[in-house]
Amino acid sequence: MSNVNFIFNPFTTKLEIVKGPSAQSIVRTYGCSSTTIIGDLVYFNPSVGESVLPESGNVNVNPVIGIVINKLSIEVCEVMLQGVMTGFLGLSIGKKVFLSNSGFITDSVVTSGYLQSLGVASDDDTISFNPNYTRVLRV
C-alpha cells in the first residue's frame, strides 16, 4: 500500500488517491496484429474478440478506442484507453484533437470521412486522450 494516500475529512469519509501511472491513464492488454506498432491508434477487431487493429484513416466506421503504448509480444499490445500522452508536434494548446484522414492525431477538424474527437491538446506536444466513440460522417 505504499502507493496509496489516505485522506480523512471531518465527516470521517475515507478518500483514496492512487499515485503513479494508474492515476493518469487507463491501460488494457489486447491481441493485435504483428504489424501494429507503438503509437498506432486502434479500434476493436470486428472478427476477433479482445483484439484491436491499427487505424489507417478516418474512413472506417469503427471508432478509435485507444493508442498502443507497448508491445508485450508480436501479437499482444498494451493500449491506453484514456490518459495523457506526449511526443506530438505543433499542437495548439486547448484545442480538441481528432483522428486525421491518414490515421494520426491532428488539431484540425477533418472535412471528409468520419469526424472523431480524441481529446484535447494540453500542451504543444501533449494530449489528454479521452476518445468520444461517436463518429460523424462528413460528406
Task: Say what the alpha-carbon torsion angle 10, 13, 17, 23 is, to the nearest 10 degrees.
Answer: -130
pLDDT in tens, 11-64: 333 333 333 344 478 999 999 999 999 999 999 999 998 999 999 999 988 999
Domain-wise residue ranges, the chain: 26-138
Residues with Cβ within 8 Å of 38's Cβ and at least 6 positions away in sequence, in order, are 68, 69, 70, 71
pLDDT in tens, 63-85: 999 999 999 999 999 999 999 99
CA distances from 56 to 15, 93, 95 (A): 42, 25, 23
Mean pLDDT calculated for residue range 83-110: 93
